[in-house]
Structure 1
């Protein structure tokens, strides 16, 4: 987990799905979209306003030019056949177009070029001029010499005078306006986008801190052991006067409550563990006395056959109770974190010795060893590691039927760690119980809770959760009775505690016909 200054990576983000984007990204994009819409609206309004203004201005100039052309084109007195050229009227500017239409024929048509000379119009231009409606509103037309604003006026003397002004200046002005609006808007959007992104990121920082705190807490091992729940939302992001600060303040209050609950739970667990340790320690003395007096009575007194069986039962149960007390004491020491007596331990030699012991106790099983040519040496507590292997082998012995093959393997993995495996070909562990095999006092059978089922299954091979190894056939209800040796359900708990105290891990995989426990320990010296 990264620190509070780090970034929380969100898995599975799809950039094509906006719902998976960061909130700050969506806020920036929404703000930019609104700004683009505003700039577009302002640009369209400005363009329309400027176009209307320039059009009105051009229409005013066009009306004045039309009046000058109409008055100048009046026929001269005494010369009814003469018609002055409207284009020669005074005050007509460069680019002005004038034409006279008489009896449906265009005459005296042309425009003033940039050098103040007269330029004629093409026949296509004449057709466009003939199509104009006299005394109507000015219209825009595209001629061979460019775009023009045209108006046709019927003069009192019967002629139709056409006047036009070029649209180039208007179009250039509007184009300049468009480019100005685009450049200014784009620059403004870039500046506002960068500034807005920085401000939004700064504003959203408290939410990121809340997310990081919640993520860090979610990854803490809160299920067991002493938990230091010291992470909190910074005070700057936990001010109850704001929306985000209110969430941060509530989260801190929740974390305080959780921390208090965890501390209370830890205190309760410590009291229970201390009680178990103290009770186990105190039970050792009376149990030793019971075993001693039992042995003394068997040596010095004469009993009937029933009495002898009863005394043997007392002795066996006291021995079983003593083993349970020793297991509880060991777990208590491991919980307290007492230091290990570290030495170089040869796991190959340890496996040979432990398997030899089990062969004597269960000659009906097939015991096999798979060892490397070179010794596999680790740094650890030899006594405790022997107990790990002994518990796993005893587990296989107690909870599998005679004839089962149990294979003990030792190897050195590629990363340098040492791996010890205990595999049997028994019936396997029920899938619904597989994740509980390392729990204390957990048992796969229901005999402790269902005496009737236990009595019905008496005499059959049992299945202990503490062992977790494959065993003989079990009833469909998993209510097999314990074996004659009995199990406390602590064997695998001790294995897990010892292995974790050595910095290693233990795993189990099981299916019908194969159950394997794999112990992985940190690498140590490679030579014995």
Structure 2
């Protein structure tokens, strides 16, 4: 017989049966209602026991009071006065006349006990005092037996049905009230728990919707959030909702960062392919040209063509080498390698880079602003020179001729600061946020004049961070400043005292400034 559709598969042989777990609401309700029911039951039992003792004491007191009001007579029936004793009152006496007994019935008439009833009653009494006996046809009685030295004895009793009836009514009332109270408590707890767990269900629904979203690839944005009404930090569940929203914010940012990295990687592949394809095509073309020229024979024209082709091949090879070295430098800086630390005089370094920039960009005005004393740091001189050179090249490339570029070096507390300022048109708002990201270019045409691979500023940032420093950019039209901050500490304590005095570089700085002014004029 085939298994019914939708039925759970039978457990494998030898496997333990799967236990059904209760929900949190069910467990809370069962626990609370069970504890309250247990407490109410214990209270009812204790109350019944205490009330039973009180009723027994009152019954004994009534027996003593009723017995003391009796007057003598030959038989028990003569002693009883229906108008003075309560209903059910029992009296048995033994005297010279013999054993006799009587009781007051519900009609307040005195009824004599039969001999069988007397024998059964006497058989249950083995000592004087208080006892509880069973009287045939009358029920259960509480009796007090009193004997005298002359052999006379008297027994008075009252039915215990009143005590039993009172206790039964109390227990019934307690049971009904307890049952009704537990039902109301269950309803109230269900409503409270449902309302209290509503934020948790919202959290679970949000997490479920997010879990169903495809996040493996593509531009993924997580817009699902727990509603603000369920993120109150003053409650435990609200803290869970707030934590989930924070987690989703972080995941959303991570996915956006992943997408940006993928786009950068695709752009990198395109840029690297383009940058390498052009020199490779040139090398191949000039190599074929040289080969054909050599095949035609050694003539002056062939030699001149071959020499020109080899020069072009060398130029393109150097271009490829520069790109590959930049990529390799970034990779090694990411791994914490490539730097060789020593004592670096930033003042002298600024003088050298400004002098080089003045030659490369004679159409710009170059100024140098340094302190009277050298600013010395611990770092890699070649890499720090590359940072400043990249910043100056960036200023020269992306500003028109006649722009004034000022390089300043000074101390700021425990930091050494190198600032490159220009009064050019400023940085395009479209790339300001990604300025130091690899392969970010202001001019995407890759023109030799204004374009490029977009690695210069990213290399500068990587070198600055590898030195424990930072690089920032502030720009608006007519006022752009790149600021490099480095820890101002020498490689060893003696380095600061052995650094050349500032006057040794001041003349060169002044000469560079003057030369730049003359060139601009």
TM-score, scaled to structure 2:
0.46
Larger Rg: 2
TM-score, scaled to structure 1:
0.46
